[in-house]
Amino acid sequence: GCRPEPPIPEMRISQQVVNEVAALLHSGMNTVFSVFHDIALGKDSVLFYQVFLSLWIISIIGSLTDFTTLCYTSIVAVLTIPALYQKYEECIDRYMRFAYLNLQMYEMVYERFSAKCFHRARDLVIEVLKEP
The answer on pLDDT for 18 being more than 70 is yes
Which of 25, 48, 64 finishes a domain?
Answer: 64
pLDDT at 91: 95
Into how many domains does the chain fold? 2
Pair (70, 60) in one structural domain: no
Domain of residue 46, residue span = 11-64
Q: Give the mean pLDDT of the chain.
A: 90
Helix, strand or coil for residue 18?
A: helix
- Full-model pTM: 0.40
Q: What is the per-residue DSSP string for 28-86?
A: HHHHHHHHHHHHHHTSSHHHHHHHHHHHHHHHHHHHHS-HHHHHHHHHHHHHHHHHHHH
> Which amino acid is located at 63 in the chain?
S
Q: Please state the rounded mean pLDDT for residues 118-128.
A: 83
Q: Please state the rounded mean pLDDT for residues 86-108.
A: 95
What residues contact 34, with CB distance under 8 A and at least 6 apart? none
Q: Model confidence at 132, in pLDDT bands (50, 70, 90)?
A: low
Q: Model confidence at 1, in pLDDT bands (50, 70, 90)?
A: low
Tens digit of pLDDT for each residue in 37-63?
888 887 888 888 888 899 999 899 888
Pair (88, 123) in one structural domain: yes
